[in-house]
Amino acid sequence: MVHHVRTVLITSHLLAAHYLRDLLIGVDIDSDPIVLSADEVSPDKIPLGPGVVILIDLHDLPYLVSTYFDAFNENRKGAAFLALGQPRSVLDIASLLLAGFAGFVCYSDIPLSLGSAVRAVAQGQTWTTPEVMRAYVALTSRRTAVREIGIEVLTHRESQILELLRKRYSNREMAQFLRISESTIKFHVSNVLAKLNVNGRRELSRNAIDGNIVTGRIA
């Protein structure tokens, strides 16, 4: 049983950071939340031990979500990740759980639900709906997901490519960002578009999730 919750806020927006910090203090979650700019990936600033909740505002992140997981995973020692963002589909939220988040809170639900969500994930629970959990359970088995739901699963690298495509990165920019060759980028882009069943980059929206795709750390 965790009696004291420590929180870390990661966001690209200063006003959002102040709002979330004041909200957490107001509902007696944490008397002194740690606030990190989204461009500051500093594992040494993350407190260790159970009862630590890392809240990541998904809007306008300068890095891929996987960057934050890779930076913090080895040092978090029992900490949980909670995602905050715009409304998302059931499959999109399930993909966040698949990536490693313990829950998702929509912006519109933050005033009423953030405190409960933080407390739940700090106790080792998952903060989501039954519909999302059913999708997540199916997605933990690629064979089950593809056969029963008709979902194609992206690899970890392909999910990174998809995120950059939605941000309208060029092949050259993606190659520089990920430090791989443009020919490799082209190969991954082709696979992503095929799995999404779209004809080209223009059909991809930065914020929209296609109903036939789920991203995750699948090798």
Q: How confident is the model at residue 184 (pLDDT cuts 50, 70, 90)?
A: confident
- Give the pLDDT confidence score for residue 143 in this predicted structure: 46
- Residue 75 pLDDT greater than 60, yes or no: no
| 44 pLDDT higher than 80 | no
Show the tokens assigned to 110.
């933050």
Comparing 145 with 93, the larger pLDDT belongs to 93
Give pLDDT tens digits for 107-116: 999 999 999 9
- Residues 17 and 14: their CA atoms lie apart, in Å, by 5
Write phi, then psi, for 35 (nearest 5 degrees): -115, 125
Q: Is 70 left (phi over 0), alpha (psi -120 to 50) or beta?
A: alpha
C-alpha dist (Å) from residue 191 to 26, 34, 202: 47, 39, 16
Which candidate, 141, 150, 119, 93, places its Cα nearest to that of 4? 119
Provide mean pLDDT across the span 34-55. 78
**List of E strands, 60-174:** 80-85, 103-106, 152-155
CATH numbers and ranges of domains, the chain? 6-136 (3.40.50.2300), 142-218 (1.10.10.10)
Whether residue 151 is predicted with pLDDT greater than 60 in this model: the reply is no
Higher pLDDT, 108 or 165: 108
pLDDT of residue 217: 40
